Amino acid sequence: MRILAFLILFSLSAAAQQNISIITPQQNLENSVSKLAIEDVQQLLQQACNCTVELNKTASEIQLLLPQIDTAKAVDKSAFEETANYPYLHVPQHHYKWTSKKESKKIILRLETPTYFGISCALYGLLQEKLGFKFYHARETIIPEWNQWPLPETFEWIAIPRFDKKGFHLHTMHPLELTEPLLDHNFPGGIEQMKEYIDWLARNGQNYFEFNLLESIDLKKWPAYSKQITDYCHQRGIISGLDVSLHMLQQKAFQLYRNFPASWLSKEKQMEKRLDLLFYAKWDVLNVEFSSTEFSSGNVKKKKKLQLHLGKLLSEKYHAKLMGRKHVVQETAEMGGKKKKKDYVMNAEETALDKKRGILIHTVMFYTISEEKAPVYRNKNLRHMLDLLLKEKEVRETWYYPESAYWITFDNSIPMFLMPYLSARLDDILLMDSLQIPGHITFSSGWEWGYWLFDWSIARWSWEHNWNNVILQPSATQYINEIFNNKPITDYFEDNLKIQNYFLKDKEMMRYMTASTATDEFPKPFDLEFHPRPEWHYKWLAKKSDWETLQQIRNEKLPLLHIFSSATKGYSDVLNSQMRTIKLTAQQQKILNELTQGIEITGLRAQHRKETLEYLITKREYKLKREKESAELLLEKAINTRKAAQQIVSAREQNYRYDLALLSTKHYEHTAYHFGYLYPVHNLNFWKREEEQFRKNNFSPFFMNIMNLRRIIGIIN
């Protein structure tokens, strides 16, 4: 009887399965962009439906009809390019439309799109937006399981890219997951890892990839290695960009020229020789840092002359687009920037050449370009960058360039899982869309501790979807909801997003959550502000603060840290109690563990800061009252909190997606840091340092400092 029942169930299941066919003209299988997408989607669909997915089988019950591309029209300008009154980097149009109907007992999905890249976007879009696939990480994908075609028989769905260029800058000045695979031509499996990431970009409808080149590469061997990367980008329809500098000193940035005595050649000759080597690979964009540091502007006339020479070389010889970023530092905050610098007056020929240069408007951390408070880089907010964007977009190609992580001492290096990145990036995307900005390139600094969620969300928000004449409205936590499809879990993340926005941004408690950088601890005028920090230095608080300030911190700031920490724990307790009745797949559970542990350690960070600050304040109070100090129990509480956080770190390290030693240990590598980007997390370096600073009253920037400051600022190699 058991065998009979099994056979009946098997036959019913087999009968329920539907075969699928991708119907495509031959030319789509001869173009690499569409061909690679078709082959990939065919394999992915077979895994999901456990059925046959073939090509050009017109008898199949489900048919995906791909269009014949009119190559004459495929070069037509996009709406962005049509309205541009300046030289514009052309990209193929890639909007698409799926129409589904039932015809002769078959479900036929017809695709309309003008280009091969549009076919790629449409196929992956169908899988991710409608069929349950989740391309959330380059090394992990959620592949659904279904026996029946999960879509309605009849629908119309239009997808329109919000931006012509959309993609990511990997900030490989930092020792991230792919820094070594990108910069080390001998890295084992490096090209395979890069193809994984480029596939992830294609699967998420992105068409731009860029990273920092460093001086530490082998310039004789690296260009041939990089050509494999640019070639694969182009095979997948993705623009390849390279981030270099004219002569930037910090963090081993690749320099297009060196000063005497490093080279006897003119700056122009050096630039030409180095570009000839780099362009062995076909780069589409050169994103150039024109200043020597983020806090300096240099000789305006000399810099402009070199910039124009570089722009002419790229345009005429290498057929590449010159881009340059604008940092958030205002001119008055630059070193030596008190005096207004005279602009270089260009002649007509130079003006025409300069219009070919594009600009990336940069913003940092989890702040939007328009919000009232963004206390970073000596700014009250970043609205001056919005003013610049509005001005520049009228005269040159202008892209927005926000961050999804700020590695050094702000987020994943502490670590904290800062959910306001979600709401900030979505708000800015919708604003840029309304302003018709043609490019959105995200500055990415690592994916562990949940930071992949931000990049994945940004990639998907860069498309607008119209389902049966209804425009679908995006939300900050929508892709969390897609992963789990569970209201208590979604509510948990929405609640944590709200309290993080309220306490960390509105109440500005982020000033206390960040770790001190060396520049926070240098004496004036070298105490440059990068991330949010208190109005006072910890050294002053420990040694010179007055009673009134101490009481203000004790009565106003410490309670906010305590409430935030307690609320974070409270939400976790509620979710844990609900999890008894929630069933998740093993993959969902793994993702949930990562995200909830990131939130929990953020709450512990607030608790630890409250306890260490209370310890420091109490020590100072006793000194002011000339009484015997007895604050050690408070420090013990902080140490115990750190130990609880360390347990979370140890659990997370077992699930990192790339080599643990590469990410979390000291080792020589190409960056200025000589350790992986999660090395500070491994033993909670910043937490320990704060405890010892406060215990010993030692606030030297060199005390327990794991950063080699001379190497970072470029004094030594």
Check whether 118 has a pLDDT greater than 90: yes
Check whether 613 has a pLDDT greater than 80: yes
Using the CB atoms, write b or e for 252-279: b if 16+ within 10 Å. bbbbbbeeeeeeeeebeebbbebbeebb
| Residue whose structure tokens are 């070069």 | 75
Q: Beta partners for 111?
A: 98
Measured at the CA of 541, the angle between CA 536 and CA 546, to 5 degrees, comes to 100
Please say whether the dihedral angle defined by the alpha carbons of residues 649, 683, 512 and 372, taken in this order, is positive or negative. negative
Q: Which two tokens stand for residue 180?
A: 């070594």
Residue 358 belongs to domain with CATH number = 3.20.20.80
Domain count within the chain: 3
Residues 507 and 391 occupy one common structural domain: no
Residue 342 lies in a domain: yes
Predicted local confidence at residue 334, as pLDDT: 52
Residues 277 and 378 occupy one common structural domain: yes
Predicted local confidence at residue 13, as pLDDT: 39
Q: Which of 510, 541, 513 is closest to 699 using CA atoms? A: 541
End position of a domain, from candidates 141, 157, 173: 157
**Who wins on pLDDT, 526 or 59?**
59
Residues 498 and 468 occupy one common structural domain: no
Residue 482 lies in a domain: no
Residue 6 lies in a domain: no
Q: Are 465 and 129 in contact, with CB atoms under 8 Å apart?
A: yes
- Which alpha helices (DSSP H) does 360-500 contain, by range? 383-392, 420-434, 451-461, 478-484, 487-500
Predicted local confidence at residue 15, as pLDDT: 40
pLDDT digit string (tens) for 549-603? 999 999 999 999 999 999 999 999 999 999 999 999 999 999 999 999 999 999 9
Check whether 411 has a pLDDT greater than 70: yes
Average pLDDT over residues 20-30: 97
* Residue 551: partners with Cβ closer than 8 Å, 6 or more residues away: none
How many CB atoms within 10 Å of residue 220? 9
Q: Are 166 and 440 in contact, with CB atoms under 8 Å apart?
A: yes
261 prior amide bond cis, ω within 30 = yes
Check whether 122 has a pLDDT greater than 90: yes
Residue 358 lies in a domain: yes
Distance (Å, rounded) from C-alpha 429 to C-alpha 462? 7
Residues 561 and 640 occupy one common structural domain: yes
Residues 664 and 705 occupy one common structural domain: yes
Residue 388 lies in a domain: yes
How many CB atoms within 10 Å of residue 30? 10
Report the half-sphere exposure of 144 (CA within 13 A, side-chain side). Answer: 19
Residues 435 and 518 occupy one common structural domain: no
End position of a domain, from candidates 442, 475, 508: 475
Predicted local confidence at residue 331, as pLDDT: 66
| Residue whose structure tokens are 């794991």 | 706
Predicted local confidence at residue 612, as pLDDT: 97
Check whether 109 has a pLDDT greater than 50: yes
Average pLDDT over residues 465-487: 97
Average pLDDT over residues 196-208: 98
Q: For the chain, give percent helix, strand, coil, nearest 5.
A: 45, 15, 40
Predicted local confidence at residue 340, as pLDDT: 57
Work out the mean pLDDT of the chain and round it to a whole number: 92
Predicted local confidence at residue 1, as pLDDT: 43
Residues 247 and 324 occupy one common structural domain: yes
Longest dimension (CA), the chain: 93
Q: Which of 155, 246, 238, 164 is closest to 194 using CA atoms? A: 238
**SS3 assignment, position 678:** coil
Q: How far is CA 246 from the centre of its chain?
A: 25
Q: How far is CA 678 from the centre of its chain?
A: 16
Check whether 159 has a pLDDT greater than 60: yes
Q: Are 223 and 254 in contact, with CB atoms under 8 Å apart?
A: no
pLDDT digit string (tens) for 35-69? 999 999 999 999 999 899 999 999 999 999 999 99
Confidence of residue 341 (pLDDT cuts 50, 70, 90): low
92 prior amide bond cis, ω within 30 = no
178, burial (CB in 10 Å: exposed 0-12, middle 13-18, buried 19+) = buried
Distance (Å, rounded) from C-alpha 546 to C-alpha 621? 9
Task: For residue 417, give its domain range.
Answer: 165-475
514, burial (CB in 10 Å: exposed 0-12, middle 13-18, buried 19+) = buried
Q: Which two tokens stand for residue 262?
A: 């490093």
Residue 483 lies in a domain: no
Q: Are 367 and 328 in contact, with CB atoms under 8 Å apart?
A: no
Predicted local confidence at residue 3, as pLDDT: 44
DSSP 475-512: -TTHHHHHHH--HHHHHHHHHHHHHHIIIIIIS-THHH
Residues 252 and 103 occupy one common structural domain: no
Q: Rounded to whole angstroms, what are the CA distances from 2 to 6, 131, 159? A: 6, 34, 49
Q: Which of 202, 195, 210 is closest to 139 using CA atoms? A: 195
Residue 73 belongs to domain with CATH number = 3.30.379
Residues 79 and 191 occupy one common structural domain: no
pTM of structure: 0.94
**SS3 assignment, position 286:** strand
End position of a domain, from candidates 127, 157, 187: 157
Q: Rounded to whole angstroms, what are the CA distances from 164 to 57, 161, 457, 519? A: 34, 7, 18, 38
Report the half-sphere exposure of 69 (CA within 13 A, side-chain side). Answer: 26
Residues 116 and 215 occupy one common structural domain: no
Residues 570 and 527 occupy one common structural domain: yes
Helix axes 190-203, 222-235, angle to 10 degrees: 30
| Residue whose structure tokens are 């960390």 | 504
Predicted local confidence at residue 393, as pLDDT: 96
Q: Are 659 and 238 in contact, with CB atoms under 8 Å apart?
A: no
pLDDT digit string (tens) for 273-309? 999 999 999 999 999 998 765 445 556 778 888 888 9
* Residue 584: partners with Cβ closer than 8 Å, 6 or more residues away: 484, 486, 592
Residue 10 lies in a domain: no
Average pLDDT over residues 383-395: 96
Q: Which amino acid is at 5?
A: A
Residue 499 lies in a domain: yes
Predicted local confidence at residue 6, as pLDDT: 39
Check whether 643 has a pLDDT greater than 90: yes
pLDDT digit string (tens) for 672-710? 999 999 999 999 999 999 999 999 999 999 999 998 888
Residues 93 and 187 occupy one common structural domain: no
Predicted local confidence at residue 525, as pLDDT: 84
Predicted local confidence at residue 299, as pLDDT: 65
